[in-house]
């Protein structure tokens, strides 16, 4: 009996040790994402400000138009389901480079993040689901808020995107905001093809369909930017919530509907920006030496395998998305970066 009791006690002790280890690991992870870990407390390095990063990193040698960070309205579509997972990573990293220019569009009021973003969380009152109507509803609110801002560029990203803010500014300097520009990255290998309904020939008794139209669209998961001129041209179809009705009529998701509107109604072709990337690509194939030249990155978890950028940095247990490591790789002077 004593032996059995000792064995049971030993088993219980090992279980307690395992539980304590798991709790410790989760706590350390939380500290990393919320900024509680200081790797070298004796070293005080001032964090880069928006102005210092932009001025030092952006080449203004011969821009078409003098674009600064303050000319951008950056929107991030998110939901209550990701407010404690995806948002903290963004708020700790690239949001710090564009605090005044970045707005988050969600589906509920959350005071904690409202304080962290200095009031830049917008409750769209849209559904938290990933349905076509919910996505288009949020895009409609993003578009209307952009119009109110009177900024030169409207750039939309998703909450699983990392945005290299200085590089985004640099890329936009290639284009004249006074002209119609639709910038993005395709996620398909051919344009969307829309056909008339199939008809049956009375003579041949063979069904056939006729191509109605085709168009490319920039995937929202890589990022899409619209010039002010193009955004104003879209007013009759997208302003005041009209974009929701437009989506319902064409029956496409938000980014596809946007592409249809711009390419088929506005007659403006998508300009592919190769520096934009989404989780639909293989992130590990991006050249580490050229990461500083890219604008956006993504990540995804499929069947227990992470599709993430290959970058040195934090332990993967603490940083599975690699966004913390990517941020420190691009901007090593931030306080939470290891030295």
Q: Give the residue numbers annotated as catalytic, written as ranges.
A: 255
Q: At what angle do helices 242-250 and 132-149 cross, to 10 degrees?
A: 140
- The CA-to-CA distance between both ends of the chain, in Å, stands at 55
- What is the C-alpha to C-alpha distance for residues 177 and 22, in angstroms, rounded to an integer? 52
Q: Which residues of 145-174 are buried (b: 16+ CB within 10 A; e: fewer)?
A: bbbeeebbbbbbbbbbbbbbbbbbbbbbbe
DSSP 110: -
Distance CA 169, CA 292 (A): 13
DSSP state of 131: S
- CA angle, corner 262, sides to 155 and 157, nearest 5? 20
Task: Specify whether the CB–CB gap between 113 and 104 falls below 8 A.
Answer: yes
3-state secondary structure of 271: strand
Give 168-232 as a DSSP string.
HHHHHTTS-TTS--EEE--SSSS-EEEEPPPEE-TTT--EE--EEEEE----TTT-EEEEHHHHH
Half-sphere exposure of 24 (CA within 13 A, CB side): 6
């Amino acid at each position: 009996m004593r032996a059995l009791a000792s064995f049971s006690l030993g088993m219980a002790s090992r279980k307690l040790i395992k539980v304590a280890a798991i709790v410790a690991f989760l706590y350390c992870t939380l500290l990393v994402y919320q900024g509680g870990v200081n790797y070298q407390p004796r070293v005080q390095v001032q964090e880069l400000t928006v102005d210092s990063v932009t001025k030092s990193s952006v080449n203004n040698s011969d821009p078409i138009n003098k674009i600064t960070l303050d000319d951008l309205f950056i929107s991030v579509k998110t939901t209550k389901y990701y407010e404690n997972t995806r948002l903290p990573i963004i708020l700790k990293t690239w949001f710090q480079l564009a605090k005044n220019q970045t707005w988050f569009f969600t589906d509920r009021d959350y005071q904690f993040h409202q304080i962290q973003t200095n009031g830049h969380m917008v409750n769209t009152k849209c559904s938290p689901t990933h349905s076509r109507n919910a996505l288009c509803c949020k895009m409609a609110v993003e578009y209307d808020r952009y119009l109110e801002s009177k900024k030169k560029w409207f750039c939309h990203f998703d909450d699983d995107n990392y945005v290299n803010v200085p590089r985004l500014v640099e890329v936009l300097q290639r284009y004249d905001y006074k002209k119609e520009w639709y910038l993005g990255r395709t996620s398909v290998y051919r344009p969307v093809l829309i056909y008339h309904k199939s008809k049956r020939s009375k003579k041949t008794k063979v069904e056939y369909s006729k191509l109605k139209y085709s168009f490319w669209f920039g995937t929202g998961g890589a990022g899409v930017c619209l010039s002010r001129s193009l955004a104003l041209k879209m007013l009759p179809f997208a302003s005041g919530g009209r974009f929701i009705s437009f989506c319902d009529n064409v029956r496409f998701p938000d980014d596809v509907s946007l592409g249809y509107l711009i390419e088929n109604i506005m007659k403006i072709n998508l300009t592919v920006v190769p520096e934009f990337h989404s989780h639909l690509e293989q992130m590990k194939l991006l050249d580490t030496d050229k990461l500083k030249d890219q604008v956006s990155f993504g990540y995804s978890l499929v069947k227990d395998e992470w599709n993430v950028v290959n970058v040195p940095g934090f332990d993967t247990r603490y940083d599975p998305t690699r966004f913390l490591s990517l941020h420190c790789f691009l901007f090593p002077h931030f306080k939470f970066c290891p030295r």
